[in-house]
Amino acid sequence: MHQWPRGLRASHFNKWLQPKLQRCIHCTPTCSVLDKQFKRGEFPELGDVKPTHIIIGAGSAGCVLANRLTEDPDNRVLLVEAGPKDNWWNWKIHMPAALMYNLCTTKYNWFYHTTAQKHMDDRVIYWPRGRVWGGSSSLNAMAYVRGHPFDYDRWEKQGAANWSYKHCLPYFKKAQKHELAKPGDPFRGDSGPLHVMQGRCDNPLHKAFIQSGGDLGIGITDDMNGYRQEGTGPMDMTIKNGKRCSASQAYLWPVLHRPNLFTSSGVMATRILFDKKKAIGVEFIRQIDFRATDFIDSYSRERVYCEQDVILSGGAINSPQLLMVSGVGPAEHLRSHGIPLVNDMPGVGANLQDHLEIYVQQKCTQPITLYNRSSWKFPHNMIRIGMQWFINQTGEGASSHLESGGFARSDDSIPHPDVQFHFLPSTVHEDGRVSGTCHAYQVHVGPMRSTSHGYLRLQHKDPRRHPILNPNYLSQKQDLVEFRACIRLSRELFAQKAFDPFRGEELAPGAECQTDEEIDAFVRAKAASAYHPSCTCKMGSSSDSMAVVDGATMNVIGLENLKIVDASVMPSIVSGNLNAPTIMLAEKAADIIRGRTPLPPESPEIYSPSPAVKKQSAVH
């Protein structure tokens, strides 16, 4: 037994006890072992009610489905979520400027990490994913970006029939309530649950960034989700009245009064239950911190059954993991873990795709950045900003400050933009864990359609253990070619006349980093995930041996009453952020599951670059 150390004061007890408990219960280093490990999750009293549908995951897709499926009073929907609720009093979720707090803790975050990436100096890359009502939409930077129309046309060519842009656009609009939408707007929705605002861009640095795109020849766009994606312009953001508008706030909380909706929190699905090839229910445990024991005993296991569908909406990591621990996946891999095989599906966990990005940072000669307004080195400013937000949800606390951005093509031969920019009038270091040291600004930049794809595999058959995540970053040489263009384009943007009043020395990569070899080394050493894992249970045709989901029904191919609706079903990653596409996908899937007639296709004109458009010199 551990002995109480002599002279140890009670006030120091927690510091002394925590490492002891960590060693005793084999908790991961990032897990807060004193954070109510054994508190039981909340599960509804169903009584004699048998759900028609069980949705696994109250993230972006799960919240949409819970809302839309319960519009039909004959449906009885059980929503199962491993994390806690995003309660109204939790300012760290709802204050837009506080987003970094939850990216650096395990309380609402699965806190995943990749394997060591051999093409990135053997670095392990951090992947935060939401474990809370709203999922990653409760943690993200609130950027509302749809991607390019050609992304969805590509989906259809890859086997996802009726998922082209003309079929998806009506569902983007159905989900959205854009503050700038007009009657008959060809691109924006005006009556959906998800409130979208356009970044105000009041900071002079945002204005300079937007103008620099026009000066360089990339162009300026007033709506990168509309007619023209290419160019620099204001970003759309999921913020309503100064607060984060997550999928939970938009879709779930407003319908909690419905008698046919049953919700849970702190409840983890551990296995899908099958009768031969038919999904009939779910096994689960209810502990807030389910990593705190070495095994799941029979007393902890509970079961719930449904009349129709089990729907996986856990995201691109949790959905394939749950499939595999339930016996659906690559046969040899499952046998190696002693998991009885239900259905051999080599595509489960394959095709893992993500966006990698780099930060180009420039010192600012004027004190107009967020440097002295985003760190507790300046407590008076932090308190002032916090008080203003708490009183009336206005001021600098009411924005994520990623208010401008843009898209560009790295080469004229590319039909639509393959480079994305997010501009920030500040600097970010180590995923937000380290504050900047001076007034500076940065652009997050990276290629949108990397050809480096990876995989997800089980580390252990225990569903609480994090899976093996290997995105295979930079395994294709073309990725480094595109990153060189990204960095050179960013430097050219910062070199434009609009930045003359603000431009100081380049902080990253630094003036000494010029050759291809030097830029490649910088990318390998400093690139980070944009937090967009996807495509691990892709939609496709039955003739594609790697396809997992039939896009016409959302069924897992070869199984009955088992569907997947989340970012894992994307055939390929889109050219932009993933939250807006995931919500659209769930809106469209809800109509499919309900057997409703799909919304009529819409085909508004979109921008096509002229051959005369200036060739970007960054590729030279």
Check whether 33 is labelled as a binding-site residue. Answer: no
Q: Where are the alpha helices (DSSP H) in 291-337?
A: 315-325, 331-336
Distance, first Cα to last Cα, the chain: 67
Locate tokens 């990397």: which residue? 450
For residue 33 the two structure tokens come to: 């072992």
- Check residue 133 and report its DSSP letter: T
Contact 515, 525 (CB under 8 A): no
Which among 148, 460, 532, 620 is annotated as catalytic? 532
Q: Where are the alpha helices (DSSP H) in 76-217?
A: 91-94, 99-103, 149-157, 165-175, 204-216
Give the C-alpha separation, 619 to 461, whole Å: 47
Give the C-alpha separation, 301 to 284, whole Å: 6
Strands 404-408 and 419-424: antiparallel
* Angle value at C-alpha 528, between 316 and 26, nearest 5 degrees: 65
Contact 593, 563 (CB under 8 A): yes
How many residues in the chain? 620
Cis omega (within 30 of 0) for bond into 234: no
Contact 306, 280 (CB under 8 A): yes
For residue 151 the two structure tokens come to: 């992304």
Closest of 253, 273, 293, 345 to residue 63, by C-alpha = 253
Closest of 276, 282, 290, 418 to residue 33, by C-alpha = 290
Give the C-alpha separation, 248 to 237, whole Å: 16
For residue 425 the two structure tokens come to: 């009038």
Q: Has 206 been annotated as catalytic?
A: no
Cα within 13 Å of Cα(229), Cβ side? 26
Give the C-alpha separation, 110 to 131, whole Å: 6
Contact 538, 546 (CB under 8 A): yes
- Check residue 617 and report its DSSP letter: G
**Residue 526 to residues 227, 287, 358, 577, Cα–Cα distance (Å):** 34, 37, 7, 20
For residue 1 the two structure tokens come to: 């037994």
Give burial (CB, 10 Å; 0-12/13-18/19+) of 344. middle
Give the C-alpha separation, 146 to 166, whole Å: 13
Beta bridge partners of 421: 406, 445
Beta bridge partners of 80: 56
DSSP string, 348-394: TT-SBB--EEEEEEEEESSS-SSGGGSSTTSHHHHHHHHHHHHHHS-
Return the H-helix or E-strand segment holding 68: helix 60-69
What amino acid positions are annotated as catalytic residues?
Answer: 532
| Annotated binding-site ranges | 132
- Name the binding residues for FAD: 132
